[in-house]
Structure 1
Amino acid sequence: MLRGRDKELGEAARLLERARAGQSGVLVLRGEAGIGKSALLEELVRRARGVRVLRATAVEAETSLPFAGLQMVLRPVLDRLDTLPGVQAAALRGALGLADAAGTSRFLVGLAVLSLLSELAAQRPVLCLIDDAHWLDAASADALLFAARRLAADGVAMVFAARDAFDAPGLPELRLGGLDEAAAAEVLAQRFSTMASSVRDRVVREAGGNPLALIELPAGLSPEQRAGREAMPGALPATDRVVAGFGAQIDELPARARLAVLVAAAEGSGDLGTVLRAARALGGGVADLEAAEKAGLLRITGASIAFRHPLVRSAAYQRAPLGLRVAAHEALAAVVDAERRVWHLAAAATGPQEGIAALLEETAVAARGRGAMATAASILEQAALLSPDRAERARRTTLAARAAVAGGRTEQAAALAERAAELGGHSAGLALVRASVAFERGTPRGAAQVLADGAQTILRDDPGLALTMLTMAASNAWPAGEIDAVRRVARLAGSFAGPTARAIEALAGLADDDHANALPALTALVAQARTNPLDDALARIFVVGVALFLGDDEAVAELAAADVIRCRNEGLAGALPVTLHALAHAQLMAGRHRDAAATVAEAVDLARDTGQSHRIGQLTAITARIAAIEGGPEHGSDPVHRGLFHLTFGRYEQAFREIEGVSAVSAAPDLVEAAVRVEAADRAAGAHARFAAWAEAGRQPWAQAVALRCRALLGPAGEAGEHYAQAVRLHRRGGRPFERARTELLYGEWLRRARRRAEARSPLRSALEIFDRLGAAPWAGRARAELRATGESAPDGPPADALAALTPQELQVVRLAAAGVSNRDIAAQLFLSHRTVEYHLYKAYPKLGVASRQELARLV
């Protein structure tokens, strides 16, 4: 019976009830060793009638075995892998070592785990329990956490029990504190009914409410001490006292039994056959393990050994002399499989050994192939430490850093890169790591120079990698405004042929305002990529960035949408945030605000789940611009969006102050309008000249129209009408409806002030219709007031939009369903379970007033 845990047990048990009702829930139970986490999990199992239970207890000895924890969780249901979509089943089989695993994506493995749990829950609710989750190997932790964050309407309850070392950001947590004095006294009274009250009070005080300490501290006392007739030992922290008590019990065993217990502790996984084979090699056997079992230190069940508590294992291993630990690992290395053998050899090593380091590197390569990048990083780090040669140590440390970056372990990568540099590493790979770390930390300034340094060292030996690094450098330097870095990268790119190199050189030309020569080269690169899709992911990202700069929204939409499809089909969740960001930008510029917000919401979730938190600020800039247009609450720190927000509400002084110092060419139109309103037109002339040159060279109709609008605002009043009229004609060729409506509003205002009220009505009607469609209420209010001032009545508001009632994820699901995509394919594309997709459609249909996919397709 659990004492003093009614509140905690109630909260955990509610997960079971939600699972029975078809909903999912996740909980991380946190607490120190012995606080009662495992006992709480056992109570949940007892209550799980009619529920499928999947459980695993992670062990320290397997933290470097890729997907060892996931194997334990899924072992009872591996026969159900055929129910998964083919690509997911293949990824999961590869991760678990059941099939070839070349190039497995770690996120695809997580999606496969999610799909499998959902499939199982379709039969009956699932309770998934992972005890000692802080010992999970990194690959298993990544996969299980990825699935946990996407459980919704699946009927799955997932609980992780862990100490503080387990990192699970974004998941609900329940911290187990110590039992209160009343509950602690009950525990003691049940186990030690004759204990003196003074001793009981001291045990309660020293145990700090830790249930294990409440049981083990008195057990380590003599009968005389428990009765209060002899003094108790000096005070120690509860856990240290418990470990010391376990150690004292181990010390009482015969020498061969102590050695057998050490072998079991060093083996770690609890395989009885392996422990016995190794123990026999050291002169031990079954009788020695039986002695430890009789002492209550471990239990033998069937073919398994389990320590009474993980702290018993810790005490057995930590208190053994080094020589015995080495002997235990050497004996184990001789009887285990190849994957575990290398770890026992490494644990037995008392100094650098190249043979073992090479074996570890081979193991890391295999782990990397299975998608276990973070695990590979740890293995390579160990290999580096065992490398006698300094150059090899630097090389392996650099490889570890690269694997850590790929595995989303930014801080580990940074520390490894620093260590590699101290060892004399100066490779291009190290430069890639340092630049990636800077970017992942959201501090990319200077990363371009690091990349250029690395590329310069390999221009002749590895030109392909050099150009890749220069492309990365240009992609970092240009948006950061590092003009000197752009020029240097362009000089290095001059030794290469092809449109990518010419585009990099063109960026340097733009830095000198040479739009006429630079933009055609960038345009050619985008056009070629649209005709001949690129295979290299980095090159595709670079081209999309170029299209964004050109203002070629159609190209951005086409290229980004194609890359999103590629990433979804291949399960590349880590690559999606940057591509979805570009797609959301294209949707925003096309006036599809709700779609853009839904795309951003997905990208933010993926960025958070894949360790790319620095991208969240870039992504939320899209929603900040939507809010600025629609007159929603002001948010974000970008001065361009804050300036537009003030423009929306006619606060021209504030808008001008925000935008005046911004150098980005895209800010020029807002600056011009604000400057004219505050009678400071001369202070916007330079920005307008740069924008006009960019628009003329780029040949985008919407940009040329906006340049004419700015010219109308800044130029003589007598010439404004022709500029506005020409701008409106260009806008009709398509692109950026919000900018078109702004031009038409200004033109209508100008015509009305010129007493040409009848002519003013047409552009004002068009502006009003667009502003209403975009949900830009403040702008629509201005257009409506202007239209009424011409003598024409205007409707009070836009017609209701049925899709407005949907959540961002419902909108994404509805769009795909209306396009004829099956629920399972929608689930795979959005990294959800198919039952969650069904749930979203179930919620969306009544909101939209439809009852079938056919009706949905007609509506959407």
Structure 2
Amino acid sequence: MGGAVIGRDGVLSQARRALDEGRPVLLEGPAGIGKTAVHRCLLDAAARDGWLLLCCAPTEVERALPFAALADVLAPIADRVAELSPPQRTALAGVLLSAEVTEPVDERAVGAATRALLEAAAADPERPRVLVGVDDAPWLDPPSERALRFALRRVVPRVAVLVTARSEGPRATPAPLGLDHGATGVLLERLAVGPLGVGALHHVLRAATGATLPRPLLVRLAEESGGNPLLAIELARAVLRLPHRPDPGADLPAAPSLRQLVADRLAALPAPTRHAIRLAALSGVPTLDGLARAGVAAADLDAAEEAGLVVVAGEEVAFAHPVYAAAVRADVPSGVRRRLHRLLADTAQDPDERARQLARCVSAPAPEAAAEIAAAGARQQARGAPEIAAGLYDTAARLAPPGTVAEHARWRLAAAQCRYDSGDYAAARTAAEQAAEELTGPARGEALLLRAVIGWSADESPEKVMAAAERALAAALPGTTLAGRIHAHLGMFEDAPDLARRHAEHAAALLAGSPDDRPVYAAALLLLFFNEVRAGLTARTELLERALAAEGEEPSWLAGTVPAIWWRSLDEHDRARARLHRMLDRAVVRGDEPSQHELLCHLGETELLAGRWADAAEHIAAARELGEQYGADSAGVEWLEGLLLAYRGRVDEAARIADSGLRRADELGDRWRRRIHAQLAGYAALTGGRLPDAARHYGLLAATVDELGLVEPLAQRFEPDWLEACVGAGDLATAETVLERLAVRHRRLARPWTTLGLARGRVLLDGALGRDTSGALVELAAARAAVPADVLPLDRARCLLVAGVAYRRLRRRREARDALTIAAAEFDALGAASLAARARAEVERTGRRVAPRQLTGTELEVARLAAAGRTNRVIADTLFISPKTVEANLARVYRKLGVTSRAELGATMARGAGVEE
């Protein structure tokens, strides 16, 4: 419930709970806040649950039409009018226009008839509940309002009531329809439909305008609109009509209707008041004291306050709505605006306010003003407002005299960095490229390095990213710390481990003695450790320890996840999880959304391997939401979503994600995308029974890994599944090669997953080659016993599945049944539906006798899913059988268990019928 309305889950759940309990619900909020959307969502949910809906949505025009709203409410139950007494039938004839009315309508009879109809509807056993819904109740025509007021206060709680009404300000107004009086008032649930946050507005605006706006602009729109979706939509449309997106700190355009409204109010005000509110609108935080220093008397604001434009509370002067201030500013001529900004700058006491005003009135080069503005930019950057800081730095650079080369370069770079920090990658890319064109020497190297970092974060092709970084290295002086930082980044960007390792070695050597570069030095050590392992060298854990000691409390984004990747590759999920959560908490405090996105993806991957799929789903969903808001690359999130779907048995959906990812990888020439989506495609095909396809995809993955010189791809563990696919496809020669490849990985770096994978692979290969599998089965049992149950639950269950099949082929039926039954239970616990079904099907193949009333494995699985409420189509998709096969199995289940409906089947299955003891 509530999925159709963005950002309203809390209100929806509270409202539905109250309605279920028979309590009337009043949704309140200002015009445009989204009350009607919530109201409709609740109605739709009630309709899906079979409730009888009696609704109306009156308008201002209809307020003059007697009983128009009541007629809408009663129309679905008009056929019950015949059951009423004659006076009530006569009264409602005029309401429903069902007969010619020659006498005046008796409103008391209408009220009584309305009550009688509602009571009759509520007593209907075919309907679970009756819901009366009134959207925008204040526009009810008076006769309808009186009839509903009379009836509802007498039928609650037998009839549910859902009403919306406009409200302004925190003070509670009387509830419509008398819902706050008497016994009904005691039950009334008043719910405020409040402002939407940035995340919810992102979805609303994208749906309304078809455009995805940058995160900083979304934040501005949320602030300017007060979270009001209707107002935010109008503001967004006005922004999208502009030839260029507004710069940070620049006013957003006011909606034309609002601008005209404010202009009309301004025209009626005296000249001193117009001057006063112009100054207030141009001020950052207007106060009576600040305006007084600019020559404004408190009395000058009286007329504006009476007009509803501003509110004066103590010393503070606030506009009644932010858009009013923007409209006032838009009405100020440019020359007048500059003079007013100069006045405010000269009278401001706060240095940030003075700098903000100077930025708007100084146009010629001015070293002192530039320094003041840049200092304000640094303060805003430190306070976590990079989008504001970017505009201040740009202005400072523009006002810097020609001789101040160093300051100009520093401020240009700071502006570009701030735009990157704010998540506006497009603007950051443009700013970095312009800086690179303007600057020379090391400053140009810094700009090009930033350009490479932006490209890395914004899903540019690896070639573009590497080209920018290499140009940066060419611009830097050899042997400098700048060159060291660029080498560190190249160590991150480079996918080939040998090249990446050499860059990391250079970076570590150049940054070792630089106290200002300790985080990047720590990152260089991590990258050196990481890429030595990837290149197949022995893991130098002392490098990892040195890096962790050097980074202190704040890991660099550059390689901060390397320790977690390493621990995850060792299946030390607790250590990886703790590291990632610590970094995520810090990223949230900093407002570093790109890092949050990356860390959520890593947490999702960690929990997938750990078998905590519900936690993984939450992290993946949060990463998708965040990534959509600021434009992150979605490849990693889609891959994780696909893996989760494949693990849960929804292999067709997973395969579609993999195919799309592989196509995109080919378009971009992106080998990382190709690797992750080839792995997903392989697993989806393997789980779906398309074994030759699975073998082909894993072969592509292996070729890509080998092409890169990636001897130890820590994050990818594909050989056990590749071997299984080859065995199933009959390619035993390749299967033997894959087993040896896995053995080499295990000898180089033994881990729980390689231990289990080797043991499982040997059982599969020995069985396929016709060898005696007894010894391999003993090894498999020992491997499974050596790995704790909570470390790799999916891998452990798959080992049992393979063991059960092998035992069956050896005619060790009891051991086969035991292994397969436990495997099915472990798959069930994880939520791996298709593997659980396969394990149960293998149990059936062990050849045990099935009594006439006992269900076969397939019948039992179909029965369980049907008893859980799944449709035939869902059962077919889950078990990889056709809907007709589902129907045939259900018919046999009904016959064997002596039931005739799914309700009876559910009760029978709950008692354990049809299951072999």
Aligned residue number for residue 696 of structure 2: 657
Does 1:732 find its partner at 2:788?
no
Distance 1:751 1:769 in 2: 18
Segments of 5+ residues of structure 1 without an aligned counterpart are 1-10, 31-39, 53-121, 149-155, 170-208, 217-241, 806-860
Change (3 A) 1:473 1:47: same
Change (3 A) 1:25 1:259: closer
Aligned residue number for residue 781 of structure 1: 837
SS of residue in 1 equivalent to 2:811:
coil
Aligned residue number for residue 447 of structure 2: 430
Shift of 1:268: 8.0
Distance 1:268 1:730 in 2: 67
SS of residue in 1 equivalent to 2:231:
strand
Aligned residue number for residue 704 of structure 1: 755
Does 1:597 find its partner at 2:639?
no
Report 1:175-574 matches (<5 A). Answer: 278=294, 313=328, 317-318=332-333, 322=335, 326-337=338-349, 338-389=351-402, 390-424=405-439, 426-427=442-443, 429-443=446-460, 445-446=462-463, 447=465, 450-451=468-469, 457=476, 460-462=479-481, 466=484, 470=487, 472-478=489-495, 482=496, 485-493=499-507, 495=509, 501=524, 504-505=527-528, 507-509=530-532, 515=536, 518-521=537-540, 535-538=553-556, 539-550=559-570, 552-564=572-584
Change (3 A) 1:470 1:540: same
Question: Does the 8 A contact of 2:522 with 2:547 survive in 1?
Answer: no
Question: Does the 8 A contact of 1:547 with 1:553 survive in 2?
Answer: yes
SS of residue in 2 equivalent to 1:394:
helix
Shift of 1:559: 3.0
Question: Which of 802, 805, 826 pairs up with 1:770?
Answer: 826
SS of residue in 1 equivalent to 2:786:
coil
Change (3 A) 1:506 1:143: same
Question: Which of 669, 672, 675 pairs up with 2:723?
Answer: 672
Does 1:748 find its partner at 2:815?
no
Shift of 1:354: 2.0
Change (3 A) 1:212 1:697: closer
Distance 1:147 1:799 in 2: 56
Q: Write the letter of the residue equivalent to 1:644.
A: Y
Change (3 A) 1:589 1:29: same
Change (3 A) 1:212 1:412: closer
SS of residue in 1 equivalent to 2:347:
coil
Shift of 1:418: 1.2
SS of residue in 1 equivalent to 2:539:
helix
Distance 2:318 2:493 in 1: 54
Q: Deviations over 1:265-303 (max 9, x none)?
A: 7658766775675569xxxx999x89x99xx99999899
Question: Which of 718, 727, 749 pairs up with 2:771?
Answer: 718
Change (3 A) 1:260 1:781: closer
Shift of 1:393: 2.5
Question: Does the 8 A contact of 2:695 with 2:726 survive in 1?
Answer: yes
Segments of 5+ residues of structure 2 without an aligned counterpart are 1-7, 19-23, 35-137, 139-164, 175-188, 203-213, 240-254, 513-520, 659-676, 706-715, 850-855, 870-917
Shift of 1:736: 1.8
Q: Deviations over 1:157-183 (max 9, x none)?
A: 8567347664999xxxxxxxxxxxxxx
Shift of 1:423: 0.9
Question: Does the 8 A contact of 2:571 with 2:751 survive in 1?
Answer: yes
Change (3 A) 1:709 1:305: closer
For structure 1, which segment, 441-450 or 693-702, has the greater mean C-alpha deviation from structure 2 after superposition?
Answer: 441-450
Calculate percent identity across the aligned residue pairs.
23
Q: Write the letter of the residue equivalent to 1:430.
A: A
SS of residue in 2 equivalent to 1:396:
helix
Distance 1:576 1:738 in 2: 28
Q: Write the letter of the residue equivalent to 1:462.
A: T
Question: Does the 8 A contact of 1:600 with 1:622 survive in 2?
Answer: yes
Distance 1:365 1:436 in 2: 21
- Matched length: 609
Question: Which of 712, 730, 742 pairs up with 1:691?
Answer: 742
Question: Does the 8 A contact of 1:692 with 1:704 survive in 2?
Answer: no
Distance 2:751 2:237 in 1: 48
Q: TM-score, normalised by structure 1?
A: 0.58
Shift of 1:661: 0.8
Aligned residue number for residue 588 of structure 1: 608
Change (3 A) 1:719 1:493: farther
Shift of 1:628: 0.9
Distance 2:277 2:170 in 1: 34
Q: Deviations over 1:49-102 (max 9, x none)?
A: 5179xxxxxxxxxxxxxxxxxxxxxxxxxxxxxxxxxxxxxxxxxxxxxxxxxx
Change (3 A) 1:141 1:587: closer
Shift of 1:421: 0.7
Distance 1:477 1:23 in 2: 55
Distance 1:595 1:263 in 2: 52
| More contact order relative to length (CA 8 Å, sep ≥ 6) | 1
**Root-mean-square deviation over aligned CA pairs:** 5.5
SS of residue in 2 equivalent to 1:621:
helix
Q: Write the letter of the residue equivalent to 2:382.
A: G
SS of residue in 2 equivalent to 1:317:
coil
Distance 2:844 2:318 in 1: 85
Aligned residue number for residue 7 of structure 1: none
Distance 1:508 1:129 in 2: 45
Change (3 A) 1:396 1:698: same
Change (3 A) 1:491 1:210: closer
SS of residue in 1 equivalent to 2:718:
helix
Distance 2:413 2:775 in 1: 63
Distance 2:648 2:477 in 1: 50
Question: Does the 8 A contact of 1:751 with 1:760 survive in 2?
Answer: yes
Q: Deviations over 1:595-653 (max 9, x none)?
A: 222332334344445x2632x54234333212212212523232322321221121213
Change (3 A) 1:654 1:340: same
Question: Does the 8 A contact of 2:526 with 2:547 survive in 1?
Answer: no
Q: Deviations over 1:325-367 (max 9, x none)?
A: 5544333322223322223333332322222111111101111
Shift of 1:758: 4.4
Question: Does the 8 A contact of 1:266 with 1:317 survive in 2?
Answer: no
Report 1:117-132 matches (<5 A). Answer: none
SS of residue in 2 equivalent to 1:660:
helix
Q: Write the letter of the residue equivalent to 1:699.
A: A
Q: Deviations over 1:466-503 (max 9, x none)?
A: 46x6555444434xxx4575254245246377986565
Q: TM-score, normalised by structure 2?
A: 0.55
Distance 2:196 2:522 in 1: 53
Distance 1:727 1:418 in 2: 58
